A and B are shown apart, each in its own frame.
Chain A
């Protein structure tokens, strides 16, 4: 079946460090690709998305590029802040619903 593999956490970084969270998906069909974020005590919210190959999604300084050749959608940010501490979920959209990755917990230390 459809699946997604996501970098295991937790990831601990110092403020202003560079962040990469890897995500790869199974290449069944041509899914749209999403990153959702869950801040402590809050519900999931959309961070960014890309709907076709080579599209780049971006929001709040985060970016991810839809790489069809490597079936990847890695999340990056050049300089993380303490407020970025959260759990990040990679989520391909297959058919009519999402397949969520297990989540990567990010802790950013001041």
Chain B
């Protein structure tokens, strides 16, 4: 079983739809949670960063962390064709952990928003 599981999709939605992307994890030592967006043949771009359980909103994006269920989500409201990309969840352990500083990535979800 992988430490981080992410549905690879692909996911295809019409413009304006609400998109829900999810990851589950098994390592209870994960303390930092991130969502990255990656366009084809480009490096990942940080979208959201969260530390504690709960919601964090930034424009059309909302990140949700539920540590008790080991489940994180990214919601995209009013999706646009420019949102078409691969979305990667990533997480890392807290200070003192043996892998501190390293990120563990999900497999990535390919999203297409069509006009």
- To the question of whether A and B form a pair in one complex, the answer is no
